[in-house]
Amino acid sequence: MASSLAEDLLCPICLALFQEPHMLRCGHNFCLACLRGAVAAGQEEGSCPECRSPFQLPELQRNRALGNLARKVRRWRGDAPEPLLPPGSLPDAWHFCEAHDEPLKLFCTQDEAPICVICRDLPEHRGHHFLPTQNAAQAAQGKLKTYLKHLEKNLKEVAEDESDQLKEMEALKSCTEDLLVDISKGFEALHQILLKKEQGFKLMVEKMNGENNEEMENSLDSLKKEASSRTETIAKVKAALEATDQVAFLKGVKELMELVKEDHQGEIEEDEETEEKSDGEAEEKSDKDGSGEEQGEESDYDDNEDNEPDETSHDFDRVILVNPDLENFAESLDFDTWKKMLEGIKCRKIHYLHLSAFGNGHPFGLEETIS
């Protein structure tokens, strides 16, 4: 009879004596822990394991009569008594030993695991120290509270360091942006100086070119005028030489001679000496031969043709050459030296080493020169 009664007091889910049995609206009874386990995590609604009728956890009704009866059978079987609870309070959901289907009411301090009363008497737990799960939980919670203070302190420090690190990152960004702007401004100033120097040198070369070219243009105009004058004089001389009217020729020969002498004063003087000598010889020959005035004159001017000035001779003093200062200007620039000077510009890079590992938070710098 007692055995049959015990079978009727078994929970259909855990198949153990009821622990805090609760009755559903459909009339079926189950352990409170078993009902909670049958409901999905975070949910309040479930279905009866036997008839699948829906139920709500807040609507569960405790079956005190069934609970009291199960407690009497447990004492009759000699099981461990249930913990005394304040009036009106409900015990927490008990967990059961997988091997013995008994509540896990003890805590083994050596194995640091909850056990049932049957496990306590097994050889593997012989000599171990046990605490009720409630006391063990309180002790563990006390330790966790101590650890929690340290964790919260460390979290606060980490949060402060995180905030400081974000500030340093913002400072790095601002510093880098300012530095890049300064570098751009500095090199822009250098570019302006180089551009100004370039324009100054070009203006200087253009000025020297203008002055030299002006002298050459003036010289060229003078040479053109002289060539034109010579051409005109030569044309007049050739026309005079080809004249058949001797009287008319002699009337204009004086003016023509002055024009020729004006163009080539030195050469004409030499030619006159040669002509006078030729004229004397011609007169002597005329007196001897009696050939007449006409032959003498022809002979004189034939000799004069042989004594014409050398047309291949040039006066290079009148030619304006390229200004030597302009030709040598490139050497004064010395771009190679300037290039090496610019390439030799270097900056100093400072490496900061923090001595926090040695108990000193102040950094010191190591200088390094970089190109």
Encoded tokens for 305: 């043709």
Domain boundary residue, one of 76, 94, 112: 94
Specify the pTM: 0.44
DSSP 26-67: TS-EEEHHHHHHHSPTT--EEE-TTT--EEEGGG-EE-HHHH
Residues of the chain below pLDDT 70: 1-6, 77-94, 101, 263-316, 349-371
Element (H, E) at 130: strand 130-132
Query: Which pLDDT score, from 0 to 100, does residue 292 have?
Result: 44
Total domains, the chain: 2
Per residue in 233-262, pLDDT (tens digit) is 889 888 888 888 888 888 888 888 888 887
Encoded tokens for 225: 């005028």
What amino acid is encoded at 191 in this protein? Answer: H
3-state SS assignment for residue 317: helix
Q: Could you tell me which of 65, 68, 48, 66 has the C-alpha nearest to residue 57?
A: 48
The verdict on residue 111 lying in a domain is no
The verdict on residue 169 lying in a domain is no
Q: Are 133 and 105 in contact (CB under 8 A)?
A: yes
Distances from the Cα of 273 to the Cα of 155, 259, 297, 316, angstroms: 125, 18, 16, 27
Query: Which pLDDT score, from 0 to 100, does residue 291 have?
Result: 46
Q: Could you tell me which of 128, 100, 92 has the C-alpha nearest to residue 113?
A: 128
Domain boundary residue, one of 63, 94, 125: 94
Encoded tokens for 175: 């510093």
Q: How far apart are CA 102 and CA 118, in angstroms?
A: 8
Q: How far apart are CA 308 and CA 306, in angstroms?
A: 6
As a three-state string, the secondary structure of 330-365 is HHHHCHHHHHHHHHCCCEEEEEEEECHHHCCCCEEE
The verdict on residue 163 lying in a domain is no
The verdict on residue 17 lying in a domain is yes
Domain boundary residue, one of 37, 71, 94: 94
Encoded tokens for 152: 């919260």
Query: Which pLDDT score, from 0 to 100, does residue 199 have?
Result: 93
The verdict on residue 263 lying in a domain is no
Element (H, E) at 72: helix 64-76
Task: Find the domain containing 364 and state its range.
Answer: 334-371
Q: Are 355 and 334 in contact (CB under 8 A)?
A: no
Q: How far apart are CA 192 and CA 318, in angstroms?
A: 44
Strand order of the β-sheet with 130-132 is 113-115, 106-108, 130-132
The verdict on residue 210 lying in a domain is no
Q: How far apart are CA 84 and CA 87, in angstroms?
A: 9
The verdict on residue 241 lying in a domain is no
The verdict on residue 250 lying in a domain is no
Strand order of the β-sheet with 29-31 is 29-31, 21-23, 61-62
Q: How far apart are CA 126 and CA 110, in angstroms?
A: 11
CATH number of the domain residue 21 falls in: 3.30.40.10
Beta bridge partners of 16: none
